Chains A and B, each alone.
Chain A
């Protein structure tokens, strides 16, 4: 089984320096593209591979790049922005890539920036990733000193500057348009789409925003080709995916596995199954803003289309496990607290609705809920759903709630009727 993204990552995560990275075959993709591939050929190679965004939405990367205007003289400068804001609770894959192999990130940035003809790239890093920040800054310095960055890179005439931008910390910064607003030094409020960032992004200029994991695939596709990439997956989507598991499993962690690895295999083989005394009830398959998948559907293949068929989303591929000894209402209360707190406050349904949802759930958990509360929660699911709010934050918050209301109806009613949390004593 090939693991291109994590090949260089040692168990202690101590990263390769630039020499080590070069010896391991690093910066070959940069040499290849700058040595004679036209930007359009690079885009074509990525389109052929059918690489899909790993930041949650699964948008085809090659197509995204091809939407950037080709006429630089007319459009003004282009920008590449790496979305390294990883704040989706339960998710810890980008941190692994950034800390474990920072040069892979830099190489990916160079190839992608060249493809879209950007001369400036920003790595928008979540502010709490201090170790990743140090390692990225060191890697940028080394790449600069070796002539992979700066002016006339490897004599190709192509110039690129890479800057690491450490965020001030807010979940909404991960939403790509809010990220651009934050990068401009403002409160991170999302922007209306269209126009999409590819035509009007950072300072109104054409901008591509891609997730860390998405981009890290790029040099490998350039080196090994689209067919190789397609062959890595076990289903329709190509490539590998960094899956994670947390909660009461024996060995929580993250693993690079073929795309479409079944959920049960991730949990049983890689995470070692459940801890003694714990049973799996359900999971959030891809971070907090995905719907619950219950134990009956545990054989689902973890790829974009398959997970949708069982009513959820692949999201970040970070599996959060709910066990039978954890109160599902408490879990929902915890996660709606997150969404309420992290709302940017721009639009009313989200700003006012999410705190209300949190209060209702807290009330029910404490044994002070009423049956009518369930109707009010259902109404929120509707009014904060897709298309009703300015960005996808609120619909993301409603996904686990909607599925929770469906799957945990009995537990909701039990809390309300018994006027207590049945898990409280048992815990």
Chain B
């Protein structure tokens, strides 16, 4: 899947964008989280090569930047599928039956949470409350919120005919 793309380095345009982000702060490294998410926006995850490039642009050591990258939930240091499903596992969603939704997603995708489907289409991950508790259970599919989930809604979202 994404292996081919990530062999390439960052483009000149991408490097310039990261440098512009650094200009918003008194200290360059303050842009590092934004920069990693930006890289991820283009390549879906942050490879070692890209991590090293961002570190150099922001005057950080690779180990330092990797420490930051691995701390945050939204930065992926391993390849993920074309789409990422973040299913909320916090309280209101749990009360409203997120376990059943999780089980249904696992069955449909043939994976466990933390895994990517064989066709590379979906990665399923748990996430803490996404502020959609009045429509629990809720999930993010890439950057789209979906709420009031049940098996039928999941099938519709995944494009599976009943």
Q: Does B9 lie at the interface of the complex (its beta carbon under 8 Å from any beta carbon of A)?
A: no
Which residue in B29, B67, B68, B91 is a CB contact (below 8 Å) of A331?
A: B91
Which residue in B36, B91, B95 is a CB contact (below 8 Å) of A168?
A: B36
Taking CB atoms and an 8 Å cut-off, the chain A residues in 79-108 that contact chain B are 86-92, 94-95
> Are A168 and B27 in contact (CB-based, < 8 A)?
no
- How many chain B residues touch A (CB < 8 A): the figure is 42
> Are A185 and B68 in contact (CB-based, < 8 A)?
yes
> Are B73 and A170 in contact (CB-based, < 8 A)?
yes
Q: Does B145 lie at the interface of the complex (its beta carbon under 8 Å from any beta carbon of A)?
A: yes
Q: Does B101 lie at the interface of the complex (its beta carbon under 8 Å from any beta carbon of A)?
A: no
Given the interface contacts A252-B136, A335-B91, does A342 sit within 8 Å of B68 by beta carbon? Answer: no
CB distance from A238 to the nearest CB of B (A): 26
CB distance from A122 to the nearest CB of B (A): 8
Secondary structure of the B contact surface, majority rule: mixed
> Are B95 and A326 in contact (CB-based, < 8 A)?
yes
- How many chain A residues touch B (CB < 8 A): the figure is 56
> Which residue of the partner chain A has the closest CB to B71?
A187
Chain B residues positioned under 8 Å from A184 (CB to CB): 27, 29-30
Q: Does B10 lie at the interface of the complex (its beta carbon under 8 Å from any beta carbon of A)?
A: no
In the bound complex, how far is the Cα of B32 from the Cα of A182, in angstroms?
10
Which of B113-121, B127-135, B151-159 lies at the binding interface?
B127-135
> Which residue of the partner chain A has the closest CB to B29?
A185
> Are B131 and A95 in contact (CB-based, < 8 A)?
yes
Q: Does B143 lie at the interface of the complex (its beta carbon under 8 Å from any beta carbon of A)?
A: yes
Taking CB atoms and an 8 Å cut-off, the chain A residues in 322-346 that contact chain B are 322-323, 326, 330-331, 334-335, 337-338, 341-342
> Which residue of the partner chain B has the closest CB to A129?
B131
Which residue in A169, A244, A321 is a CB contact (below 8 Å) of B73?
A: A169
> Are A168 and B71 in contact (CB-based, < 8 A)?
yes
In the bound complex, how far is the Cα of B91 from the Cα of A91, in angstroms?
11
Taking CB atoms and an 8 Å cut-off, the chain B residues in 82-106 that contact chain A are 86, 89-92, 94-96
Taking CB atoms and an 8 Å cut-off, the chain B residues in 61-82 that contact chain A are 67-68, 71-75
CB distance from B47 to the nearest CB of A (A): 17
Binding site for A on B (CB under 8 A): 24-27, 29-34, 36-37, 58, 67-68, 71-75, 86, 89-92, 94-96, 127-136, 140, 143-145
* Given A87-B128, A92-B132, 11 other A-B residues pairs in contact with their CB atoms under 8 A: A89-B92, A90-B91, A91-B131, A167-B33, A185-B68, A203-B27, A245-B134, A246-B136, A253-B134, A284-B91, A334-B89
Binding site for B on A (CB under 8 A): 86-92, 94-95, 126-131, 161, 163, 165-171, 182-188, 203, 244-248, 252-254, 284, 288, 318, 320-323, 326, 330-331, 334-335, 337-338, 341-342
